[in-house]
Structures are given as structure tokens and as C-alpha cells.
A and B are shown apart, each in its own frame.
Chain A
Amino acid sequence: MPSASKVLKLAVVALLAVAVLAFPSIAPNPYILSAGVLVVYYAVLATSWNFVGGFTGYISLGHGALAGLGAYATGLLAAKAGVPSFLALLLGGLFVGLLAVPIGLAALRVRGASFVIVSIALVLIMLLVFQSWASVTGGSRGLVVPRPFSVTRPEHHRIFYFLFAGLLALALLAWWLIDRSRFGLGLKSIREDEDKAEALGTATYAYKLIVFVVSAVFTALAGGLYALWFGDLDPVFQFSILTGSYLVLMALLGGVRQLFGPVTGAIIVGTALEYFKVEYGDTPLHLVATGLLLALVVLFMPDGVLPAIGDLIKRFDRSRSTSIREVSAAELREQRLQNTGGSR
């Protein structure tokens, strides 16, 4: 007999899936539909980010650069080399996956803060290169990517909505599989205590690198799909440090330990971003809003929305089993301190 919370969880997931699939049919106009495409795009990116951020605890602010690389690889192959659009997409993903190996080799040698610095540097250097190397990338004049389908605009949005949703399903499946595997367990041990994990024989460096590459490939595929959908690339937007911070915000807000955390965050933040864009247009107030939201999440809800809701449900559900539970190092430390009654 499955517990009530499990049934509830499955019901919510099924409801969510139906809502996602039905969205294009109920979207009142093409603009809302295109906003929906953007939200699903963010959901794919945030889920891809969560391969590194959620499992290993390494926070990358540079995933925007990986998405941008995927977009430009796909766009350049399709526009300049005449490769069929979706072959270009796959090749773009493959290319970024290969590129992620040396990047990961360098970046993953350092931990915590240094890693974040490197990830920021990745965005800044890519912006510099793609703006300056105008003969290949088109520089700030932009790169026009040929559209793969010759259909009306709403139909175009509809097709890409489902393509993004398919990619999202694939990313979620991969995350779920890793979450339940021995590999995933090794990654989580890195998150909790990298030194101890290494001492116990976990090949931490290889683990980190593999999951970084997996994350990069999904991110690049999402970026490439965006290039095919949007049809126009500009380095300033593709290699923006803001994109990376949106992903972190989404994943954190939703909850990095949950399968559907980043998706939840993407729906909340993505919708908010679109709303801000409509309301405040060109003013820089969307930066203020993003900054405030990020600060609030970091200060008051570092575990995310989904765990908060989960706690609420648990309070009403007495039948929940208490045998095995995931406890983070931070929680353990807090418990220990409470028991000893000491301060920090």
C-alpha cells in the first residue's frame, strides 16, 4: 500500500504533465504561447543546471555561457555551413559536450568560491570573444539562424513548445536516473563532504567531470533549440551573466534536491520575468526585482519552495515512514549545535 504522500505526489506530477501538454491549446494568443515556450526553455536550462548544482553543490553562474555556445554552434552550423537544422542541433550539443571536458578539467580543480569565479569568467570571456570575432559570429550585428519549418508564427511557437517539453522530459528522466543510482550517491557525497567522500574511495574528480559534461550537453541542446526557435542571436544576450543567475535563482527557489524543484522555480521566476518585461519594459527595474528575489531566497528560503510545501504536507500525514531520510551536512550541524546548546 503506497503512502498517501506518494499518491499525492504522483497525482500532482500527472496533473502538471497534463497542464504542460494542454497549455498550447488554451493559450489565448501567440504572445502568451511564446512566453510559455520561454518558460519551458528556462525549465530545461534550470533542470540541466541542477545536474551540477543539485548533486554536487557546485554553484555555477556560468551556465548561460554553455547555453550560448550551444546556440551559436547550432546557429553557425545551420546558417554558415548549411547543415540541416536538427543535425546542427545534435552536432552543437556534441561540440559543447566535448568543449566541456577541458573547461571542467580546469574549473573543477578548485572548489566553492573559486569555482564560481571561474564560471563567471567563462561568461565574460565568451562575451568578449563573440563580440570581437565579428567576421565569424556576426559580432553585435547578430547572427540570423534559418528557421527549420516554414509555418505561421503561432504554429512555429506550438511546435517548439513541444520540442522544448520533450527535451525537458529527457532531462528530468536523466536526473531521476542519476538520483537513484550509485553514481548519484557518489555525487551527493561530494556535496556533503568532498574530503571524506574521496577518502572513502569515491572518484570525486571523475564524477564531477562526468556530471558537468552531462549538464553541459543538456544546456547546449536547450540553447541550440532556442537558436532555431528565436532565429536571431546576439552575444550580449547569449553570453549574459544574468541568464546564469536566473537559472540559479530558479533552481534554488524551487529546491535543488527535488526532481521538479528547478521546473517549479522556472515557472515562478520565468512567469515573473515575462511579467516584469511587460510591466516595466525597458527600465532597469527588472534587475532590481531579480536582485531582491535572489536575496530573499538566499536569506530566507535556501532549501526552496518544494521542501517547504513538503514539510507542510508531512505535518498532516502521520503515516509517513521514518526509516531512511536524506539529511544534509548543514542540517546535521544545526542539530548537533542545538543538542550541545553551543553557539556558532
Chain B
Amino acid sequence: MPSGALLFQSVLLGILLGGLYALLASGLTLYFGIMRVVMIAHSAFLILAAYLAWWLHERAGLDPLLTMLGTVPLFFAAGVGLQRLLLTRLRPATLTMMSVLLTFAIALLIEGLLGYAFTGTQRRIQLGYGSASIEVLGARVAVVKLIAFGLAVVALGTLYVLMKRTRFGWALRATIQHRDAARLLGIDTDRVAGFGFGIGLATAAVGGTALSLDTTIYPSLHWHWIGPLMAIIVVGGLGSVPGAAIAALVLGMAQSLLQIPMGTTWAQTVFYVALFATLAIRPQGFFGGRLAQRF
């Protein structure tokens, strides 16, 4: 039986991890809500952002957090471009399937180019505060994990305010709920969809920077992330942002707790077990997600 302190530490780490998962999965649910697009390349952009943070730190000595000033707008623009230039070219009847393949191709491109530019060597940012940790009620928590969690909270909070309090957020939610009706009300749904995509990709920029703080990165790392993230959005119900957040916290916690008896590798299977269990019991996902089964 693991000690109480160890359990407490695992719960704490689980919450921190879950927060990061929630941030990344929220981007995926946005894409899906807006255009029924499953964005396989999301985690590849995540690694791209992490690489940019690492590279700028290596070259210019920039703090990774500062690189976000550049990567967030850049990724936003990339998202808008991706939606307006590529995804709208696909035929509506086969959009969902073909978008998977198109974004898969983009993921391969990013992985290949990263490997070409920076080789397959594992990279890690060396920070002054990289190994620092603080004690919370007897549990040791690395400062970088707290920073990553803080970033996730700020980003998700901003996203929430944006969606609920601004005109753009209303337009975006209307577009998600019923595209044709939104257009009848005078909303330029194409524009809104483009911006929505940009915001989704901007969350990847934030998440990637958070990731770069305390993970060793390499070009093919995105495959390790895509599985858990996909599992989270299916369990949470495709297209439901709160569902994804809850599923992210629950599964992140489960992974963290299972690491004690099973070790890190086997603990990862919890995502896939949850995925298949969800499909067997409730294919539309456990929270919200009335869209899921049909797409």
C-alpha cells in the first residue's frame, strides 16, 4: 500500500497534468465543433511550438514563456490559413474523413521538417528554475509543472471569457450550434470558422510552450500525445468543451495514480481502456456530445 504522502503527491500531479490535457483537448473540440474536423496535426503543432521555444532559448537565450509572444499570433495565423486555404477545399460530403487525412499529412510534414531541421536528437531546455520544486503539504511539486498548469488555467480562462462574453464568442457558438441559422442571422460563418480554427491552434502554441518546460522533446513525440488527446475528446463527447475538460482531469488523475502500481508505460493504457469502454457503453461520450455518434 503506497503511503498517504505518495498518494497525495500523485493526486496533485494528476490535477496538474489534467489541466494541461484539458487545454490541449479544448483545441481539438473547437475544430470538431466548428467544422467536424478531426485535427490529427494538433499535437504536431504542439511539438513545433515546443521546438520553437527550445530553439529561441538555445539561440537567443529567451525564456520559453517569452517565445509565446511570437508563437501564439503565428499559430493563430496558421490556423486561419489552414482553415481558409485548405480545409474549405474539401468536398462537404466527405469532409470529416478527408480532413483527417489532410491533417495527418500536415502532421507528417511537420514531423519530417522538424527532423530535418533539428535532427532526431532529444532536446531539453535548461532553465534556472528547471529543477526547482516547492513543498505543498508534504508533497514536492516541480515549479515548471506549476507554471505549465498556470498557463493552462490562464489560457482556458481566456477561452471561456472569449466564448461567453464577447460578440465573437457568441458568433462562434452560434456557428457551432447551427451553421445555416447563424448565417441567416447575418454571421459571416466562414470568417468566424477561420478565427475559431486560429484560436484552436493558438492553444497548441501555449500548450507546446508549457510542454517544453519540463519534457524532453523529439520530432516523433507527437504520436505519444495524439492518442491520449483523442481518447479524451471521445470520452468527453466530441465537440463538447466542458466534456473534454472533465475527461482530461479524470483521465490525467487516473494516469497519475496508476503510475504507482503499474509504472509509467502501462499507466498510459488507461486512455485506451477508457476509449474502448466509452465506445462499448456510451458511444456518444459521457458528457454532452450529442454530435459524436454521427460523425
- On A, residues with C-beta under 8 Å from B are 57, 59, 61, 105-107, 109-114, 116-118, 120-121, 124-125, 128-129, 131-132, 241-242, 245, 248, 252, 283-295, 298-299, 302, 328-330, 333-334, 344
Stretch at the interface among B47-55, B58-66, B227-235: B227-235
Q: Are B275 and A121 in contact (CB under 8 A)?
A: yes
Does any Cβ of A come within 8 Å of B101's Cβ?
yes
Chain A residues whose C-beta falls within 8 Å of the C-beta of B178 in the assembled complex:
none
- On B, residues with C-beta under 8 Å from A are 32, 36, 38, 40, 86, 89-94, 96-98, 100-102, 104-109, 111-116, 120, 219, 223, 226-227, 230-231, 233-234, 238, 265-266, 268-269, 272, 275-276, 279-280, 283, 292-295
Q: Are A113 and B92 in contact (CB under 8 A)?
A: no
Chain B residues whose C-beta falls within 8 Å of the C-beta of A292 in the assembled complex:
105, 109
Nearest Cβ distance between residue B275 and chain A, in whole angstroms?
5
Chain B residues whose C-beta falls within 8 Å of the C-beta of A344 in the assembled complex:
92
Interface centre among B86, B230, B265 (most CB of A within 10 A): B230
Q: Are A299 and B102 in contact (CB under 8 A)?
A: yes
In-complex Cβ contact of A111 among B102, B109, B226, B294 (8 A): B294
Interface centre among B105, B276, B280 (most CB of A within 10 A): B105
10 contacts between A and B (CB under 8 A): A59-B100, A112-B295, A114-B293, A124-B226, A124-B227, A129-B269, A241-B223, A284-B116, A291-B105, A330-B92
**Identity of the chain A residue whose Cβ is nearest the Cβ of B190 in the assembled complex:** A344
Task: State the main secondary structure of chain A at its contact with B.
Answer: helix
**In the complex, what distance in Å separates the CA atom of A294 from the CA atom of B108?**
10
Q: Are A333 and B106 in contact (CB under 8 A)?
A: no
Chain A residues whose C-beta falls within 8 Å of the C-beta of B38 in the assembled complex:
113, 116-117
Q: Are A113 and B86 in contact (CB under 8 A)?
A: no
Q: Are B32 and A111 in contact (CB under 8 A)?
A: no
Interface centre among B90, B223, B280 (most CB of A within 10 A): B223
Given A116-B100, A290-B105, output 17 extra A-B contacts at Cβ < 8 Å: A109-B293, A111-B295, A112-B295, A113-B32, A113-B38, A116-B97, A117-B38, A118-B275, A120-B227, A128-B269, A245-B104, A284-B111, A284-B116, A288-B116, A294-B104, A298-B102, A333-B93
Chain A residues whose C-beta falls within 8 Å of the C-beta of B40 in the assembled complex:
120
Chain A residues whose C-beta falls within 8 Å of the C-beta of B120 in the assembled complex:
284
Chain A residues whose C-beta falls within 8 Å of the C-beta of B100 in the assembled complex:
59, 61, 113, 116
**Identity of the chain A residue whose Cβ is nearest the Cβ of B40 in the assembled complex:** A120
Q: Are A295 and B269 in contact (CB under 8 A)?
A: no
Chain B residues whose C-beta falls within 8 Å of the C-beta of A290 in the assembled complex:
105, 108, 112
Task: State the main secondary structure of chain B at its contact with A.
Answer: helix
Chain B residues whose C-beta falls within 8 Å of the C-beta of A285 in the assembled complex:
112, 116
Nearest Cβ distance between residue A124 and chain B, in whole angstroms?
4
**In the complex, what distance in Å separates the CA atom of A127 from the CA atom of B233?**
21
Chain A residues whose C-beta falls within 8 Å of the C-beta of B104 in the assembled complex:
61, 245, 294
Nearest Cβ distance between residue B130 and chain A, in whole angstroms?
28
Chain B residues whose C-beta falls within 8 Å of the C-beta of A132 in the assembled complex:
265-266
**In the complex, what distance in Å separates the CA atom of A292 from the CA atom of B108?**
8
Q: Are B36 and A302 in contact (CB under 8 A)?
A: no
Q: Given A128-B269, A241-B223, A245-B108 in contact, is the A110-B283 Cβ separation under 8 Å? A: yes
Q: Are B276 and A106 in contact (CB under 8 A)?
A: yes
**Identity of the chain A residue whose Cβ is nearest the Cβ of B227 in the assembled complex:** A124
**Identity of the chain A residue whose Cβ is nearest the Cβ of B36 in the assembled complex:** A113
Chain A residues whose C-beta falls within 8 Å of the C-beta of B109 in the assembled complex:
287-288, 291-292, 295
Q: Are B102 and A295 in contact (CB under 8 A)?
A: yes
Nearest Cβ distance between residue A119 and chain B, in whole angstroms?
10
**In the complex, what distance in Å separates the CA atom of A285 from the CA atom of B174?**
42
Nearest Cβ distance between residue A75 and chain B, in whole angstroms?
22
Nearest Cβ distance between residue A290 and chain B, in whole angstroms?
6
